Amino acid sequence: MEPLLLVRSLKKRYGQVIALAGVDLDLMPGEVLGLLGDNGAGKTTFIRLISGVETPDGGSMHLQNRSIDWKRYTVSSARKLGVETVHQDRALGEKQPIWRNFFMGRHYSNALGFIDANRERREVAEVLKKTLGLSGAGLHPDAPVSVLSGGERQGLAIGRAMFFDADLVILDEPTTALAHGEVEKVLRFVEEIRQKGKAAIMVSHNLAHVHRCCDRFVFFDRGRTVGNYRKEDLSLPELIGLFTGFASEGGLG
């Protein structure tokens, strides 16, 4: 089986600051990978490059067995190749209705070229109820995003990625600042990504959540890949000990 994502010697610098010093990483279809490292390790920069937000200074990437031309690689082209990013802030407009948020940037058009709002409302109602399991008097397509809880918003963002048939979902701190019950919802959504045969990269400082959801753990430190471990080889205490050990030695700090 060929890797869904294959990255070699990825480099990026901002002035005198080296954000990525030559990262190697691969990801298989159906795999959930935990990307770990302290602040400043290069995780956010890596995500921005993979999702087409920024362009690297060097290195290569193959996605879906296609060699990526960095000069033409954008957020739009990344999406066309099946990459969706769920940002920490969920990238949702709180005052806009749920259906507009869901289809933002990718609206359906009717025969006259206008947004097909009725179709989008029907699609969102289906996703809310059947895919995400969200129900309640206030949860309908025309409700503003502000009525959703933190976990529901994260679920909506993940559901949006799955609706557009993403093969790779990038999750940036998906459980930050959520209550316990909300965290459980989000972790189930992440596990469903694997069940659907899709791949994910999960960035999180919560090692318990990462260990539960991920098949493999990759450590970044100062812009380099410094560790690659499979879940079956590490218990949660061992993962915590490994992270702590790296940090105490200056490896991840």
Count the neighbouring beta carbons within 10 Å of the beta carbon of residue 80.
11
Domain ranges across the chain: 5-94+165-248
Q: What is the mean pLDDT of the chain?
A: 87
CA–CA gap between residue 213 and residue 231 (Å, rounded): 10
CA 130 to chain centre: 22
* Cβ atoms 35, 46 nearer than 8 A: yes
* Cβ atoms 45, 53 nearer than 8 A: no
> In terms of CATH, what superfamily is 5-94+165-248?
P-loop containing nucleotide triphosphate hydrolases (3.40.50.300)
Average pLDDT over residues 63-89: 91
Q: How does residue 188 score in pLDDT terms, banded at 50, 70 and 90?
A: confident
Q: How does residue 126 score in pLDDT terms, banded at 50, 70 and 90?
A: confident
CA–CA gap between residue 226 and residue 41 (Å, rounded): 10
Residue 252 has a pLDDT of: 46
* Cβ atoms 38, 239 nearer than 8 A: no
* Cβ atoms 47, 172 nearer than 8 A: yes
Single-letter code of the amino acid located at 167? D
Beta-ladder partners of 23:
10
Q: What are phi and psi of 142, to 5 degrees?
A: -85, -5
Residue burial 211-237, b: 16+ Cβ < 10 Å; e: rest: bebbbbbbbbbbbbbebebebeebeee
* Cβ atoms 107, 115 nearer than 8 A: yes
Residue predicted with more confidence, 142 or 35? 35
Sign of torsion, CA 186 171 236 216? positive
Average pLDDT over residues 192-214: 93
Collapsing DSSP states into helix, strand and coil, what is residue 218? strand
